[in-house]
A and B are shown apart, each in its own frame.
Chain A
Amino acid sequence: MARITASLYTSHIPAVGAAFDLGKTKEDYWKPVFAGYDFDKLWMKTHKPDVIVAVYNDHATAFSLAMIPTFAIMTGPEFNPADEGYGARPVPTIIGDPELASHIASEVIQQDFDLTMVNEIDVDHGLTVPLSCVFGEVEEWPCKIIPFAVNVVQHPVPSGARCFALGQAIGKAIMSYPEDIDVHIWGTGGMSHQLQGPRAGLINKEWDNRFLDRLIDDPEGLSKTPNIEYVREAGSEGIELVMWLVARGAMADVVAGGAKPKVAHRFYHVPASNTAVGHLILENAA
């Protein structure tokens, strides 16, 4: 049967992708940001999954106001990096896993989460920046990736509690998949940032770090945080953090009464462009 071996959490800042693509990772401004992901390259040598379910949001790239799915799973075979107005990022095509994605969709919809299924979509920085941070510069991504989009652009966006419950449904679905594979689930976006209005530039270090603490130790309690608190305390775009609860909900201590996950890596840095960078890796016990 399939196993969820780890969950990984990271910001997905577009400027980080631009710095990566333009070879600026060693510059003084960017060096401390990318240093936070050095651990990942070593860790991946022994913890590389067969498939990643990567929870992200589209930033008015593939989903315009013409359609806004609250939860969308990408069931297609491959996805190209999107041109977000600056040209497509020069990173590999994402290879999906249509069999596992369809299985998850089927199981999760029958657990009353009404997912949208998407077979053709270009994926934006929300998905490709985490991949670049974690894997670095590669000819091809080292595993299959199932993108999973959450609407965090138009309110009301799903609550943390709903995202946490969705994670549990996805976790159960993966554990019932008959193939003998290792799966990671990633939550991306955040941490505190606001990109609009006179309050732009907001960073809330204390709130972010408490979020990380509670994500590790008290995810269920954290999931009850109302959406207004994310917007007020972590900025209008800090609401992206609800997506981290999807990944956390799929871990063994939540889904299967297992042990608390091990904190393999934790990193926090301000700033990258307008945003606080947070990164966490949690391992399920073997």
Chain B
Amino acid sequence: MALDKEFTQIPGTTVFDADQSRKGYWLNQFCMSLMKADNRARFKADERLYLDEWKMSEEQKQAVLARDLNRCIELGGNIYFLAKIGATDGKSFQQMAGGMTGMTEQEYRDMMIKGGRKIDGNRRIGEHGDAQRPRKDV
């Protein structure tokens, strides 16, 4: 039984299902490798060289080099895996999440303190909430 189609109808959201997981397998496994300090050091020393050790697509490698997390997710990445890149770069989860919204770090932090992003208008694609605006990456 395929996943409910409605999962694809939520704006600004990619559901990490078995298809995305298959597509992003090596991208995510590369991210896992960054949990070891030696690998982080090797990655930092020459990112391209390190990425070339993995069976990732060229698009996935470019998305990692550009730290374009929205693109990484589109190409099968999952945020909990991608977070290892953020940790390697010394970024917090809030910086990573905020970075995907097109907002500045301060704008995002302020939005959270004021109670977070509103659900109204952000339930389904085609409504008029603030997660529906054109994405910077597409």
Contact of B100 among A153, A198, A203, A231 (CB under 8 A): A198
What are the residues of chain B within 8 A of A153 when measuring CB–CB? 16, 78, 80
Q: 6 additional contacts, CB 8 Å, given A153-B16, A203-B115, A271-B115? A: A64-B29, A86-B87, A154-B17, A196-B69, A201-B112, A276-B116
In the complex, A221 has a CB within 8 A of chain B = no
User: What residues of chain B have their CB less than 8 Å away from a CB belonging to chain A?
Assistant: 3-4, 6-7, 10-18, 21, 25, 28-29, 31-32, 34-35, 69-70, 73, 78-81, 83-84, 87-88, 92-94, 96-98, 100-102, 108, 111-113, 115-117, 119, 122-124, 131-133, 135
Q: Is A65 within 8 A of B25, CB to CB?
A: yes
Q: Is A15 within 8 A of B80, CB to CB?
A: no
- Alpha-carbon gap, A237 to B14, bound state (A): 11
What are the residues of chain B within 8 A of A237 when measuring CB–CB? 79
Q: Is A201 within 8 A of B108, CB to CB?
A: yes
A-B contact list, 15 entries, CB within 8 Å: A84-B35, A85-B35, A85-B83, A192-B116, A195-B96, A195-B97, A197-B70, A198-B132, A199-B101, A200-B101, A200-B108, A202-B117, A203-B116, A232-B10, A276-B116
Q: Which residue of A lies closest to B103 (CB)?
A: A201
Q: Is A155 within 8 A of B119, CB to CB?
A: no
Contact of B117 among A18, A83, A201, A236 (CB under 8 A): A201
Most buried by A among B13, B83, B124: B13
- Alpha-carbon gap, A65 to B133, bound state (A): 32
In the complex, A228 has a CB within 8 A of chain B = yes
- Alpha-carbon gap, A228 to B6, bound state (A): 7
User: What residues of chain A have their CB less than 8 Å away from a CB belonging to chain B?
Assistant: 14-15, 18, 59-61, 64-66, 83-86, 153-156, 192, 194-205, 207, 226-228, 231-233, 236-237, 270-271, 273-274, 276
- Alpha-carbon gap, A276 to B112, bound state (A): 9
What are the residues of chain A within 8 A of B101 when measuring CB–CB? 197-201
- Alpha-carbon gap, A199 to B111, bound state (A): 12
Contact of A84 among B10, B87, B131 (CB under 8 A): B87
Q: Give min CB distance, A36 to chain B, whole Å.
A: 16
Q: Is B32 within 8 A of A155, CB to CB?
A: no
Q: Is A60 within 8 A of B32, CB to CB?
A: yes
What are the residues of chain B within 8 A of A227 when measuring CB–CB? 4
